């Protein structure tokens, strides 16, 4: 069983809808990540939160709005998405330790998003 829980597993929404993706972990990790993965492509980083503060935004369009309300939760708010935003959205978490090489990331199963 994955230790990072993402909901929902599947989401179909219209271009005018507003929805949110949720991610939860209880491993005490203080870094959390959102990735986007298109078919036959590798995961691409969207956002990184470190100690509940946004530390990396990979020039993601503003129709994607991340939120980290506490150390266990990460949300991705979606509004006015485009068909090309259809993808698998993966959440991950890791420890934040000052060691060389960083820490392995623990991934959720993802949310499969389809934009009509």
What end-to-end distance do the CA atoms of the chain give, in Å? 31
Exactly one of 21, 78, 107, 115 binds other proteins (CB under 8 A); that residue is 107
Q: Which residue has the tokens 């909901």?
A: 7
Which C-beta is closer to other proteins: that of 83 or that of 101? Answer: 101
- DSSP secondary structure of 4-44: EEEE-SEEEE-TT-EEEEEEEE-S---EEEEEEE-TTS--E
Instruction: At 42, give phi and psi (nearest 5°).
Output: -75, 160
Question: In the bound complex, what is the minimum distance in angstroms from residue 14's beta carbon to other proteins?
Answer: 26
Considering only residues 63 to 102 of the shown chain, the ones binding other proteins according to CB under 8 A are 90, 94, 96-102
Q: What is the spatial distance between Cα 94 and Cα 29, in angstroms, rounded to a whole number?
A: 5
Question: In the bound complex, what is the minimum distance in angstroms from residue 15's beta carbon to other proteins?
Answer: 28
Exactly one of 56, 61, 82, 116 binds other proteins (CB under 8 A); that residue is 56
Where on the chain is the footprint of other proteins (CB under 8 A)?
Answer: 2, 4, 31, 41-45, 48, 50, 55-56, 90, 94, 96-110
């Amino acid at each position: 069983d994955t230790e990072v829980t993402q909901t929902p597993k599947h989401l179909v929404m219209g271009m005018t809808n507003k929805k949110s993706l949720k991610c939860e972990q209880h491993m005490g990790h203080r870094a959390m990540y959102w990735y986007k993965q298109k078919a036959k492509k590798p995961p691409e980083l969207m956002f990184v939160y470190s100690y509940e503060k946004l530390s990396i935004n990979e020039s993601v369009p503003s129709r994607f709005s991340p939120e980290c309300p506490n150390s266990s939760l990460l949300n991705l708010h979606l509004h006015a998405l485009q068909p090309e935003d259809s993808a698998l959205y993966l959440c991950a978490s890791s420890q934040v330790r000052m060691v060389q090489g960083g820490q392995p990331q623990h991934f959720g199963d993802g949310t499969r998003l389809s934009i009509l």
